[in-house]
Chains A and B, each alone.
Chain A
Amino acid sequence: MQCDSSVASLQVISPSFVQQHACEERFTQPGREEFTGAGLLLLIVLVLLQGSVLPLGATSSPDTTHNVDNRQVKEEKYNYTKKAFPVLTLDYHHIQAPFEISLWILLASLMKLGEYHVNVTHALVPPDTSSVRHCARELPVDHRGSSRGGAHQTSWRRSPPVLDSRLFFLCLLPPIILDAGYFLPIRPFMENLGTILMFAVVGTLWNAFFIGGLLYAVCQIQPANPSILHKIELLPCLLFGSIISAVDPVAVLAVFEEIHINELLHILVFGESLLNDAVTVVLYHLFEEYSGAGTVTVLDCFLGIISFLVVAIGGVLVGVIYGLLAAFTSRFTSHVRVIEPLFVFVYAYMAYLSAEVFHLSGIMALIACGATMRPYVEANISHKSHTTVKYFLKMWSSVSETLIFIFLGVATVDGPHHWNWTFVTVTVLLCGWLTYVINKFRIVKLTTKDQFIIAYGGLRGAIAFSLGFLLDKKLFPMRDMFLTAIITVVFFTVFVQGMTIQPLVELLAVKKKQEAKRTINEEIHTQFLDHLLTGIEDICGHYGHHHWKDKLNRFNKKYVKKCLIAGERSKEPQLIAFYHKMEFKQAIEMPKKPPPAKPAEKAEKAPSQLPKGREEEIRKILRSNLQRTRLRLRSYNRHTLVADPFEDGFGDLLIKKQKMIELEKKIKDMNNYLTVPAAPPDSPTMCRARLSSDPQSYRAKPESDSVPTIQVDLASPQSPDSVNVMDEFRRAGQQRGGGRGEEDQGLMMRPHKTGEGADGKDPQKLTRCLSDPGPSADEEEDQPFLP
């Protein structure tokens, strides 16, 4: 059987196999390095595998079904001719679709790898957009693949991964848009929203009508080819115009992220590409509906405008609702951290699908969802989940983007084409301008250079192609011609404009993106100026940009954050909490060192240009004085006690602290079972509060009157809030027992107090004191429960 030989050849990817087929298909490229040669050879092998496997899939399907039937022995006994039990079978049809998809993804990723290495080794290769080169690379590969599959056109056609529009819109597009929406820089986006909307709405409308109308005019005028072009009516032309006029976010993202253009231009083009989806959806449906009827009345136009508003605002609303839901859900995920990223992805995808149900703008829903949920979700989820979300989004969007371009390539080589010169060239020429009018309304004007880049950056991409693909052939006999033209435009914009925008940007000396993050200083003063501008706007009575932003922020802080951010994190200053956490951790992790080492360590930090003898002297002085300072700490004021004591030494203090920590842990564990509810794990201040108010800790402390009480002012550079909190605890502690004051603080593990024990004797005494209550507390607790 043919099956066997193919099986044999497939089982072993031996050099002989490669030799057999490589002679037909060798990818001869002079001057390649070894590694890339090997990489490309690997690619060829994979493609060949696929090429050879596909006809296998087609021809061996009766075999596989037979094999499948073999398993259902019971039902078909009478038709069954006994064979030897198949030890090894080939059932390609079973896994065909996922296998091919995975193969494509693998191919794409390998190409990316190979390209990186080519870049690294060949410094001469001009920097280029990765996606463009994907197209360039995969075109020849596709050619071989399709030539192989050419003999089996039907099987190729049948295999699902060749640009199924549903696949594109439901699986490939959402990750890219979600990635864009989640990481959308809100501030520049909102600041330029007016301009972006103008470009997106008015610009797209204008482009659509202009291109459609002009195409129709050209088609009518064309004398040479009267037969084909004259058949095109106005409405299909307008439909085509609406498809082709939309700037594509995928292409823009792919190209712009490599050229590092300044933020303003980037956000303008990018924002426009995201927001014109609403316009495109409405126009597309409008023209598609009425192409059958043939005429569009004024009522239809009016309805179209209403429909546009519904689509746009509805999409955003759906996205915001799902975003808020996601934020609310993430509030409760502190105990099941593993599924936190899942919520982010699933809610966003549901937003997209829900919007698509009502034919609202799914892209706008996705963006609104991502942008809305981001600040709240990030405050709630753990750091690891945050990283997971980030990397998953990047990975998925990168894979999607590559796959989209590959499919475009496949469709180019393989699809039904109907080439028509005039149509195509006119289309290509007409895409993109309009920025002149907008400039009149901007406060910070766009220079001519900027306008040109914006126009030049208007790339068309896969969305246009998929929309064209979706057209019904019966209603639009010119569908193939449209598709050809669309592909040409897409390739032109992506290839030519994409490849040349980088040198163009350099040539025109357009401002580049500032790579560094803003300093804290800049952010503080920017905030200052924000407040200032809001105030001035209020004085003028002008409800401008700052006014609404300020209102939204205040609303956010007052109501929304309370709902959506988990418990104490919305109230407690995060930086202070983090500082406490770090304190805690450092106290626990500080290793036990013998006391003399500590002053030595401290002395080492002193400037090293002192002579040796002097250093010894200093060390001795420090050692003796450090012991004494613990007694004298009361007299220190906040300004001289600035240095963090847990870095400075106090070796035996640390030993004591260690013991205290262990004790506290024991007590905490016990108390957890008893009366006090478990503290939220992330808030050390709450832990401390609980411990200090716990009566158990007090009984645990025996006589310690011999130990001098130390009252130390906190001298850490913290905000007034935390100082108050600590003061409060100290005061609370002191209220319950004067002499016990320091023990509360001992339990709270403030590093700079509890300097009990002036000399070596006292530490032991105190450690004994502290460790004593351990057993007694245990004994008391042993009765109620048995661990």
Chain B
Amino acid sequence: MRFFYSWIDFWIKRLLLTFTMGSRASTLLREEEIEEIKKETGFSHSQITRLYSRFTSLDKGENGTLSREDFQRIPELAINPLGDRIINAFFPEGEDQVNFRGFMRTLAHFRPIEDNEKSKNAAVSEPLNSRTNKLLFAFQLYDLDRDDKISRDELLQVLEKVDVEQKMSIRFLH
């Protein structure tokens, strides 16, 4: 169902963009910025514009950056067991605000892997959505104190968030 929804969603959003917020969004995001982001993250033009509109809609303070409260305002994220970890992942070490570049950089980890890209960017460092970078991102989600190690307590905390008991019940009792 994924692409059905994304199609409809995309077209509705696009229409909304062009008629309502479109002008505002496009003026605040310059073409060369879009090009830079495209090179760095690999997103397409339309994807970048769409994500920018999402960024601005989340940014209630309209100062061009997102704070933790902005993220926490998303209702589904509040009930997500990993919500606070995900939010933390967006903010680099010690900072409290994330701009659009940082936002895109984090989201770039979730692009699908394209094998043919590697051959093109052989000279450039590994793209953000390479397998290694994805693993690194996931590792950082487990490693809360950022000491590059996952301690037993950290693992136990993860297990608490995930419904281990139910999985083990299914495995052993059925």
Enumerate chain A interface residues (CB-CB to B < 8 A): 193-194, 197, 378, 386, 441, 443-444, 517, 520, 523-524, 527-529, 531-536, 538-545, 547-548, 550, 554, 573-576, 578, 719
Contact at A520–B138, with CB atoms within 8 Å? no
Cα A736 to Cα B112 in complex, Å, equals 63
Q: Is the CB of B82 within 8 A of A535?
A: yes
Question: 3 smallest A-B Cβ distances: which pairs?
Answer: A574-B169, A538-B76, A535-B86
| Contact present for A578 and B81 (CB under 8 Å) | no
Count residues on chain B whose CB falls below 8 Å from chain A CBs.
41
Q: Which residues of B contact A578 (CB under 8 A)?
A: 169, 172-173
Q: Report the separation of the CA atoms of residues A444 and B115 in the bound assembly, to the nearest whole angstrom.
A: 12
**Contacts A544-B2, A544-B6, A574-B169; A444 near B112 (Cβ below 8 A):** yes
**Closest-CB distance, A270 to chain B (whole angstroms):** 18
A523 to B158: give the CA distance in the assembly, Å.
13
How many A-B pairs with Cβ below 8 Å? 103
Q: Are A575 and B86 in contact (CB under 8 A)?
A: no
The A interface, classified by DSSP as helix, strand, loop or mixed, is: helix
B105 to chain A, nearest CB (A): 13
Docked-complex contact B82 and A538, CB < 8 angstroms: no
Q: Which residue of A lies closest to B137 (CB)?
A: A532
Does B1 contact A539, Cβ atoms closer than 8 Å?
no
**Other contacts beyond A535-B82, A538-B74, A543-B9: 17, CB < 8 A:** A194-B1, A443-B112, A517-B171, A524-B158, A524-B162, A531-B80, A534-B76, A536-B86, A538-B77, A539-B54, A540-B54, A541-B54, A541-B57, A544-B5, A544-B6, A574-B165, A719-B165
B5 touches A543 (CB 8 A): yes
> How far is B158's CA from A194's CA once the two chains are assembled, in angstroms?
32
C-beta contact mask, B137-174 vs A, less than 8 Å → 1, else 0?
A: 01001000000000000000011011111111101111
Which listed residue (A197, A528, A576) contacts B162, Cβ 8 A?
A528
Q: Which residue of A194, A378, A441, A535 is within 8 Å of B77 (Cβ)?
A: A535
Asked whether any CB of chain A lies closer than 8 Å to the CB of B100, the reply is no
Q: Are B79 and A532 in contact (CB under 8 A)?
A: no
Q: How far is the CA of A759 from the CA of B60 in the complex (A)?
A: 74
Chain B residue at minimal CB-CB distance from A375: B170
Which one, A194, A520, A536, contacts B107 given CB within 8 A?
A: A536
Bound state CA distance, A534 and B76, in angstroms? 9
Q: Find out whether the CB atom of A520 lies under 8 angstroms from the CB atom of B6.
A: no
Residue interface mask B1-20, A partner, CB < 8 A = 1: 11111100100000000000
Contacts of B82 in A (CB 8 A): 528, 531-532, 535
Chain B residue nearest in CB terms to A518: B171
Closest Cβ neighbor of A535 among chain B residues: B86
Contacts of A544 in B (CB 8 A): 2, 5-6
A and B contact pairs by CB, cutoff 8 A, 7 listed: A194-B2, A531-B81, A531-B161, A541-B54, A541-B57, A543-B9, A573-B165
B74 contacts across to A, CB distance below 8 A: 538-539
Q: How many Å lie between the Cα of A147 and that of B110 in the bound state? A: 67
**Hey, which chain A residues are within 8 Å of B171, CB to CB?**
517, 520, 523
- Taking the nearest CB of chain A, how far is it from the CB of B162, in angstroms? 5
Distance of A547 Cα from B163 Cα, bound (Å)? 18
Residue B83 at the chain A interface, CB threshold 8 Å: yes
Complex CA–CA separation, A722 to B158 (angstroms): 20
Cβ-closest chain B residue relative to A538: B76
Q: Does B34 contact A (CB under 8 A)?
A: no
Per a CB cutoff under 8 Å, which of A528, A540, A547, A576 touches B165? Answer: A576
Do residues B169 and A573 form an inter-chain contact, with CB atoms below 8 A?
yes
Q: How far is the CA of A576 from the CA of B1 in the complex (A)?
A: 37
B51 at the interface (CB under 8 A from A): yes
Q: How far is A573 from B165 in the complex, measured between Cα atoms in Å?
A: 7
Which chain A residues border B79 with CB–CB below 8 Å?
A: 554
**Roughly how many angstroms separate A193 CA and B172 CA in the complex, as a whole number?**
29
